[in-house]
Structure formats: C-alpha cells, structure tokens
Amino acid sequence: MSFESAMARLGGTSLSVSSVEACSIAKGETLADTIRVVSGYADAIVIRHPKEGAARLAAEFAHVPVINAGDGAGQHPSQTLLDLYTIRQSMDIDGIDVALVGDLRYGRTAHSLASALSLYGVRLHTVSPKGLDLPSSLVNDLTEKGMEIIEHDDLTDVIGQVDVLYVTRIQRERFPDSTSYYNVASSYRITPELLVGARRHLIVLHPLPRVDEIDPRVDASPHARYFEQSRNGIPVRMAMLLKVMQ
C-alpha cells in the first residue's frame, strides 16, 4: 500500500498483483517471463517476493527499473531508507549506538539496516534468541568494514547504552511449539517499565507489523517513533519512484 500511495501522490497509477493465483505464475509461467511481460505494462516494477534474490533476478530480465520491496529473508532496502530518514529526524547518525532486537537471522529489515549503518561508524548491539542471531556471513562482512558488533543476552543490559532501539517481530513459525515461542517472546518485550532505564533521547523503531513485542502502552511514550516511521515510507518511496523514472 505504501508504494501504491506514493505513486498516487506523484500523480501516477499502479497495477497490483497481490497473489500468485492472480497472474500467469499460477499456470506455470517463470518469474523471468512474468517480469518481461510486466515490463511492457509499466514504467517501473516494485517486487516483493518470498524467495531471496528474486528482485535481483527480476532486474536482469526487466526493461524498466526494478525496486526491491523485500525478498524473503534477504534484504529490504526501501525500508532501510525510511529507517535512516526517521533516525535522522531525531539525531545525527554518525557514531551512535543502535540495538537490533528480535529475529535477526531471517529479518530482512535488520539485514539491510545493519549494512547501511556500517557506513556511519555506528556501534551495533544485537539481542536475539539463540539460533536467530545475525547470519555469520553478514557479521563477517560488517566487521571487515570496521563495524563494532556487541551481542547481548538480555534487553536490560542494553537499554541504557543505545540511542536507537530497533525491534523486529520474533517469528512464531521458527519455533517447534507455542510454549517455546512464548517463553522466548516474553523475554523480548518492550514495556514502559523497561524504558525507564533508557537514555532520554532514545527512539524505538519497528518495521511493523508488531505482534506482542511492544506493549501498546509504549505508544504514548515520547520514545515511540514506529508509526511516524511508517508514515515516512510515503515521502521516501515517492522519492525513490521519482528518481528511477526520471
């Protein structure tokens, strides 16, 4: 909806395919052929796909610009641009401390943001359940770029040390049963009581949707920026669309 809204505000129109069943992919058409066909219908393609690397593949066959709106557990670059924009509204990004919390192994928003923050001399703190930490390949890449990465087991250990708390959903499907999930999820819940120990200027971000990892009471806190973050997706994506179609 954010890309469609952005396109409408630019004065353009959009064509949406919300499911595989709604297009020829359901009949066996390859992604490459679909992209070739859609390239004749539009001036730009925005693709969200469950398979990592799908957007890169689409770009190889498209005759128009392709924007990656999320590819499986890979990357989510447009989300990162609006994340950086939201942070910049509150503080300078250079040299700050940022904590990534939640499912960091499969969370594509965390992957893209971590990569972008490595350009700003940011100190990265990670808090995640065992087995859902940042992929080792990404950690190696970030450390080679000079980024300092500090792992934490408990939210209370990091809350007073960071300027940005970036929370992601812990995906229930990654756990063998509901009990295992709730035991972990309850340890990564942001509450007003937790934020008492935070820096005064701390901002809490979340790419949404949230489930229960942020207590609704936090919404009224001056630290909460996630709905503003969501709104920022419109101007940022307007800029992206305008840039690629100029």
Tell me, yes or no, whether 129 lies in a domain. Answer: yes
8 Å CB contact between 108 and 71: yes
- Residue 24 confidence class, pLDDT cut points 50, 70, 90: low
Tell me, yes or no, whether 225 lies in a domain. Answer: yes
124 & 32 share domain:
no
90: phi then psi, degrees, rounded to nearest 5: -105, -25
pLDDT tens digit sequence for 33-74 = 999 999 999 999 999 888 888 888 999 999 999 999 888 766
pLDDT tens digit sequence for 162-217 = 999 999 988 776 666 777 677 777 678 999 999 999 999 999 999 999 988 999 99
CB atoms within 10 A of CB 106: 19
pLDDT tens digit sequence for 128-160 = 988 888 999 999 999 999 999 999 988 999 999
Taking CA 216 as the corner, what is the angle to CA 203 and CA 189, rounded to the nearest 5 degrees? Answer: 70
Tokens 């969501």 correspond to 230
95 & 118 share domain:
yes
Q: Which of the two residues, 181 and 229, has the higher pLDDT score?
A: 229
222 & 110 share domain:
yes
8 Å CB contact between 152 and 126: yes
53 & 105 share domain:
no
209 upstream amide cis, omega within 30 of 0: yes
81 & 124 share domain:
yes
Tell me, yes or no, whether 237 lies in a domain. Answer: no
Predicted pLDDT of residue 227: 97
171 & 98 share domain:
yes
b/e map 53-75, b = 16+ CB within 10 Å: ebbebbbebbebbbbbbbbebbb
Range of 144's domain?
Answer: 77-231
47 & 159 share domain:
no
44 & 101 share domain:
no
213 & 179 share domain:
yes
Q: How many angstroms separate the CA atoms of 17 and 21, rounded?
A: 9
8 Å CB contact between 84 and 116: yes
CB atoms within 10 A of CB 172: 15
- Residue 8 confidence class, pLDDT cut points 50, 70, 90: very high
Closest CA to 192 of 221, 163, 213: 221
Beta bridge partners of 239: none
Q: How many angstroms separate the CA atoms of 104 and 107, rounded?
A: 5
Answer with the one of 55, 72, 89 that is the final residue of a domain.
72
In the chain, the number of structural domains is: 2
